[in-house]
Amino acid sequence: MEIKEIKNPDLIEVGKIVLNKGKQKRNLNIEYSTSLTKTQKKDNSSRIYFISVNNIIKKIGGSNAVGGIKNTFSFYMSGNCGRPSLRTFGINFLIEQELKKGKSIVIHMILIPRVNITMFGMFEETKKEVSIAHNLIESSLVEEYNNRCGKFPDWNFQEGGVKWPQDVYTAFIEYNNKKESH
């Protein structure tokens, strides 16, 4: 499915992922869209994100990470550093491979509106503005994609019940072995 098929009016282009040409260890960077505001970049509301390769949606994910979409993607951008999980390393690896083939990778997001609630704490009732957890909305969007396309997005391995590609898994093992030997 192409990203342009999404009809949600709240879809925001975050920016393009590019290979890092600097001397930093991390291999990826984001060139933020000029239409993305600083407020949107750091908005702490829950968010759903889409990673597309040449306009084809490859991953649908979600996050409540403090620091907004900027912090959400900092993990993927440095997925080749430190002690990343297989998921973080794997998405970083797949993005890097696509970029090396000359493909365009763009991130979009939908900010989940905050809601006002009245809750009873341990001793008193208070009114709060809260983010809705992204999990239910993310699951719903992944299912919607599956119902429309007859499969899950290619990089939503867990939801699709699919193992990581062997080259990703092998690279992850090699990366960890190299880390342990230093």
**pLDDT tens-digit series, residues 154-180:** 999 999 999 999 999 999 999 988 877
Closest by CA position to 33, among listed 100, 109, 138? 109
Strands 125-130 vs 56-63: parallel, antiparallel or unpaired: unpaired
Bridge partners of 28, per DSSP, are 19
- At 25, the pLDDT band (50, 70, 90 cuts) reads confident
d(CA 154, CA 133): 24
| pTM, rounded to two decimals | 0.92
Residue 16 domain-assigned (yes or no): yes
State how many domains the chain has: 1
How far CA 15 is from CA of 29, 50, 131, in Å, comes to 10, 11, 23
pLDDT of residue 179: 74
d(CA 73, CA 47): 12
Residue 180 domain-assigned (yes or no): no
Statement: residue 182 has pLDDT above 70: no
Residue 76 domain-assigned (yes or no): yes
Which residue has tokens 């939801």?
A: 159
Percent of the chain whose predicted confidence (pLDDT) is above 90:
82
pLDDT digits (tens, 9 = 90+) for 74-129: 888 988 988 899 999 999 999 999 999 999 999 999 999 999 999 998 999 999 99
Residue 65 domain-assigned (yes or no): yes
Q: With 0-12 CB in 10 A as exposed, 13-18 as middle and 19+ as buried, what is 114?
A: middle
d(CA 99, CA 17): 8
- At 32, the pLDDT band (50, 70, 90 cuts) reads very high
pLDDT of residue 75: 87
Residue 88 domain-assigned (yes or no): yes
Which residue has tokens 């993927």?
A: 76
Residue 65 or residue 33, greater confidence: 33
Residue 53 domain-assigned (yes or no): yes
Percent helix, strand and coil across the chain, each to the nearest 5:
40, 25, 35
Statement: residue 57 has pLDDT above 70: yes
Q: Are 80 and 70 in contact (CB under 8 A)?
A: no
Range of the domain at 95: 3-166
Residue 106 domain-assigned (yes or no): yes
CATH number at residue 79: 3.40.1440.40
Residue 171 domain-assigned (yes or no): no
The arithmetic mean of pLDDT across residues 43-61, rounded, is 97
d(CA 141, CA 147): 10
**Residues contacting 44, CB < 8 A, separation 6+:** 66, 67, 68, 131
